[in-house]
Chains A and B, each alone.
Chain A
């Protein structure tokens, strides 16, 4: 597609429920990133994929968070047993080159706003 697409745009989950957030990156983009943005804050890094390989998951806040990109395109961020502190906007981004090059810009989706009640 023309840009990074995320679904759903909004998700309300009851505490303890599992959720799955989807990201469709720009076609052909090698690198894919997930970020978490709390209200009034800047985005914070969660994890990074290069094609299907998850090369960096240092930002995942707990083992309840899991991300995958099995075919090197679409990615899913799964949160198990959601807690109120998981409420945030989850942003997905993709870029054309291997992230280690550093200089490439990432293109972001509109995000999924997760509210845990």
Chain B
């Protein structure tokens, strides 16, 4: 069975601080895909990044960066110089190939609050 754990329920930071959101996953599959989504108050899930299990190269996109470590089954997300607009719930998700790869397994989310 697949499982995603986001131990941080809520994080509050002051604008311009860096913040890291943790994600730990469990799967027995050797091929899998990891995702991060952002859910602003409007409700839709906004895709941020996809990473496959064979690519451990870290990625940076503007103020966002992701650290994928298979050895610790973690896929952490860092926002540099946070802004108020970053306030949202962030979800880490896992998709495996087993069973057709139909479903995303989500963590419970981390509520990020960025204050002035």
Contact = CB atoms under 8 A, between A and B. Distances in A.
Interface of A: 3-4, 33, 35, 40-45, 48, 55-56, 59, 89, 91, 93, 99-103, 105-111, 113
Contact of A45 (B35, B45, B103): B103
A71 B42 CA distance: 29
Interface of B: 4, 31-33, 35, 37, 42-47, 50, 52, 91, 93, 95-97, 99-109
Contacts, number: 74
B100 A103 contact: no
B33 A45 contact: no
A45 B104 contact: yes
Contact of B35 (A59, A89, A105, A110): A105
A41 B89 CA distance: 10
A44 B93 CA distance: 11
Across the A-B interface, the 5 shortest Cβ-Cβ residue pairs: A42-B106, A102-B101, A45-B103, A108-B45, A48-B102
